[in-house]
């Protein structure tokens, strides 16, 4: 299953803990009656919003302002770590993540654990990532448990623990049946185990909640070929050719035809 992030892109899911981003461009903290806690939260959310839009410079300023408001804020330090991570400043990013874990978390410590775990995953430090992912996924009050379970499943795959990976992906789906990424992983696992009925069921679940990608289309071709459904196989093949003609999956499909 490789060491590729399987669609786990920082630009897409890195900031999911801060779903309600602040709709402001500046935070005025000069007034004598300013509520520092609200200003801190607003600056952290603003920083996350900037990161989502790819504006790292403004994000850095927002997180720096948040840290000035409260030097003990774990979320402000986490934000700085994310900026350094995106900038490719690995040592600085890890330093900030470790500091964030030691500081006070006003929103959720689990969000910091998940962010650091994803950092570790990106650098193939899977065993270390699992340690933090277990903590985040065991926090029943954490609203982003499903993502922690999903990344835990990916990390388990990379260490060769298929049983643990399946359990994590299934748990993620139990929490949210629309978790398409987890469904695709399960479809792939069950296909490799020759449980084709389960593979098709999870691939169908994936298709209900996400657009088809090259990986899912190739898997669909393989599954329908097993069941002898030539029309469905041809439909998947046509989509793969038209949508992803230069993908490694299309090259693999052409090898399958031979």
pLDDT score recorded for residue 197: 98
Count up the domains in the chain and report the number.
Answer: 2
Q: Which of 107, 139, 159 is the last residue of a domain?
A: 107
Is the Cβ–Cβ distance between 214 and 221 less than 8 Å? no
- Which residues neighbour 190 within 8 Å (Cβ) at sequence distance 6 or greater? 196, 198, 199, 202
pLDDT score recorded for residue 137: 96
The CATH number linked to 69 is 1.25.40.10
**Mean of pLDDT values over 166-170:** 98
With b for 16 or more beta-carbon neighbours within 10 A and e for fewer, the 36-56 pattern comes to eeebbbbbbbbbbbbbbeeeb
**Mean of pLDDT values over 15-44:** 57
pLDDT tens sequence across 107-135: 679 999 999 999 999 999 999 999 999 99
Does 207 have pLDDT greater than 90?
yes
Range(s) of the domain holding residue 90: 18-107
3-state helix, strand, coil in the chain (%, to 5): 70, 0, 30
In a domain, 27, yes or no: yes
Closest Cα partner for 70 from 48, 100, 49, 91? 100
pLDDT score recorded for residue 17: 39
pLDDT score recorded for residue 37: 85
Q: Which of 84, 107, 130 is the last residue of a domain?
A: 107
pLDDT tens sequence across 68-110: 999 999 999 999 999 999 999 999 999 999 999 999 877 679 9
In a domain, 134, yes or no: no
pLDDT tens sequence across 133-143: 999 999 999 99
pLDDT score recorded for residue 201: 98
Q: Which of 79, 107, 135 is the last residue of a domain?
A: 107
Quick one: how far is CA 92 from the chain centroid?
21
DSSP state letter for 15: T
CB-side neighbour CA atoms (13 Å) of 241: 10
Q: What is the pTM of this model?
A: 0.85
């Amino acid at each position: 299953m490789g060491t590729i992030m399987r669609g786990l892109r920082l630009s897409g899911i890195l900031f999911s803990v801060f779903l309600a981003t602040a709709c402001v461009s500046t935070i005025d903290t000069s007034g004598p009656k300013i509520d520092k806690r609200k200003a801190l939260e607003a600056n952290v959310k603003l920083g996350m919003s900037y990161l989502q839009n790819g504006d790292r410079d403004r994000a850095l300023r927002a997180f720096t302002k948040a840290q000035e408001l409260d030097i003990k804020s774990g979320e402000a330090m986490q934000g700085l770590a994310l900026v350094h991570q995106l900038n490719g400043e690995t040592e600085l990013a890890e330093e900030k993540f470790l500091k964030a874990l030691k500081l006070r978390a006003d929103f959720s410590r689990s969000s910091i654990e998940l962010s650091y775990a994803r950092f570790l995953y990106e650098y193939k430090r899977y065993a270390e990532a699992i340690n933090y992912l277990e903590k985040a996924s065991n926090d029943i009050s954490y609203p982003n448990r499903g993502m922690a379970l999903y990344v835990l499943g990916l990390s388990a795959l990379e260490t060769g623990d298929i049983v643990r990976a399946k359990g994590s992906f299934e748990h993620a789906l139990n929490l949210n049946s629309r978790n398409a990424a987890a469904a695709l992983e399960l479809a792939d696992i069950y296909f490799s185990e020759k449980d084709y009925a389960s593979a098709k069921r999870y691939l169908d679940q994936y298709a209900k909640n996400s657009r088809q990608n090259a990986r899912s289309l190739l898997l669909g071709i393989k599954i329908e070929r097993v069941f002898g459904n030539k029309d469905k196989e041809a439909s998947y093949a046509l989509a793969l050719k038209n949508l992803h003609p230069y993908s490694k999956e299309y090259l693999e499909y052409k090898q399958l035809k031979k």
